[in-house]
A = this chain, B = another copy of it.
Amino acid sequence: MQIYKAHILFTRERTQFEVIPNGYIAVDDGKITGVYNQLPASLAGQPVTDFGDKLLIPAMNDIHVHAPQYRNLGIAMDLELLPWLDNYTFPEESKYSDTAYAERMYRRFVHDLWLNGTMRTAAFATIHFDSTRLLMDLFKEAGMGARIGKVDMNRNCPKALTETIEEAVANNEALIAEYAKPNALVSPIITPRFVPSCSPELLTVCGELAHKYNLPVQSHLSENRNEIAWVQQLEPESHHYGDAYNRYGLFGDTPTVMAHCVWTDGEELAMMRDKQVMIAHCPSSNFNLASGLAPVRRFLNEGIPVGLGSDISGGNHLSIFRTMVYAIQTSKIRYCQDKSLPFLTLPEIFWIATKSGGRLFGKVGSFEQGYEFDALVINDHELNHDNYNLLHRLERFIYLGDDRHIEHRFCRGREIAEPKITK
């Protein structure tokens, strides 16, 4: 049993913060047993870790990110999607056949997630078995949660980034055998890159693997209009892009997260609602790649689950706090152009980043009883130069703060030390 004292802020409901000044959280075996204004008699005499005037908030979840694009973060941002993929993304991912290179970059990637307070991550790796294993082991070594996808792809990409159907099945099954354990902190997720990269045969086996092993699925959906037209050519019998996944059992039969959905509408939107397919909203990437403004208010109105993704290196930073700001700004520009969709408020986007996105990892992202204790201690002393109230302190940290203000990080009840990098 651990008890932590601090100013506690989290979002039980979407529309408002719970604020407990000088509150207590009791944690047992990694799970929250209670949140209190005052310590109850039953806990009297237990040792308390007192964080004083600091803020205690749920840790961040990043539900869409490309780990092997870490080196490309913040470069070549003047290119459009196709030359960017051909000249930067695919050549970089090809390097991950070299596990020494992979280790150097993946250690930095895991370190920087930690730095930014992201304790749970759904990541695309590459097609390579060995470096994907390595990435999973680095998350385990750090003690941080992850769903890691060995990427499956076999068309419209360089030869070096393809494999046979048999290799794809064998490599996925080997990872599943090693990592798909009940309650595992780090586990596999079936990851067809996106329809244009995967032949019908490959999509078929991806769907079969997801069903056979009851594994979650992640991919990309309706990111830009050219891509949607291309998918329609490649899968002419599908009613919409989402249907092209659904025909292969990859659209909500098991827990599924689809990145972007900027242009999702009509039947696709209805299918996502009916099958509860989660959307990874990646606003920074949607700006940088000129993809557009995803209609998150509509997703919420429909009851479609939504979380946030940094989507590096389409996104230009790993901070989910900065992603929150971009998500609000995206919704404000949509609102400016169409007043029927109110913009997202701070509690709403905080709830999306924590409790809503956290569903991909179990009971993660809230401080309610029974949730895993994933938390950040925010030391905002520098930002709080004029006695701001607690909600304004949190807002200032989100809008102005950075990794310098994150003082402690917890995942599943354990404090997470700084992961090692190699020079």
Contact = CB atoms under 8 A, between A and B. Distances in A.
A390 B232 CA distance: 41
A419 interface: no
Contacts of A346: 77-78
Contacts of A71: 386
In this complex, the member of A316, A329, A395 whose beta carbon has the largest number of chain B beta carbons within 10 angstroms is A329
Interface string A360-388: 00000000000000000000000101101
Interface in A284-301: 287-293
Contact of A290 (B74, B289, B333): B333
Interface string A100-111: 000001001000
Interface in A32-80: 71, 73-78
A343 interface: yes
A77 B290 contact: no
Given A78-B345, A386-B71, A402-B402, A292 B396 contact: no
A79 B385 CA distance: 22
Interface string A13-42: 000000000000000000000000000000
A345 B343 CA distance: 29
A219 to B, nearest CB: 22
A387 to B, nearest CB: 10
A290 B343 contact: yes
A329 B288 contact: yes
A161 to B, nearest CB: 20
Interface string A311-324: 00000110000000
A399 B77 contact: yes
B108 A332 contact: no
Contact of A287 (B289, B329, B345): B329
Given A77-B395, A77-B399, A325-B316, A290 B385 contact: no
Contacts of A328: 77
Contacts of A75: 388, 392, 395-396
Given A287-B329, A402-B402, A292 B336 contact: yes
- Indicate how many identical chains form the complex: 2
Interface in A378-415: 383, 385-386, 388, 392, 395-396, 398-400, 402
A332 B286 CA distance: 9
A179 interface: no
Interface residues of A, number: 40
A33 to B, nearest CB: 33
A78 to B, nearest CB: 5
B402 A287 contact: no
A335 interface: yes
Interface in A303-355: 316-317, 325, 328-329, 332-333, 335-337, 343, 345-346
Contacts of A396: 73-75
Nearest to A421: B385
Given A316-B325, A400-B317, A395 B291 contact: no
A114 B293 CA distance: 34
A101 to B, nearest CB: 10
Nearest to A72: B392
Contacts of A392: 75-76
20 contacts: A73-B396, A73-B400, A74-B400, A75-B392, A75-B395, A76-B395, A77-B346, A77-B399, A108-B385, A287-B329, A287-B332, A287-B333, A290-B333, A290-B336, A292-B333, A292-B336, A316-B325, A316-B399, A316-B400, A402-B402
Interface of A: 71, 73-78, 105, 108, 287-293, 316-317, 325, 328-329, 332-333, 335-337, 343, 345-346, 383, 385-386, 388, 392, 395-396, 398-400, 402
Given A73-B399, A288-B332, A333-B333, 9 more contacts: A73-B396, A75-B392, A75-B396, A76-B392, A77-B395, A290-B336, A291-B336, A292-B336, A317-B399
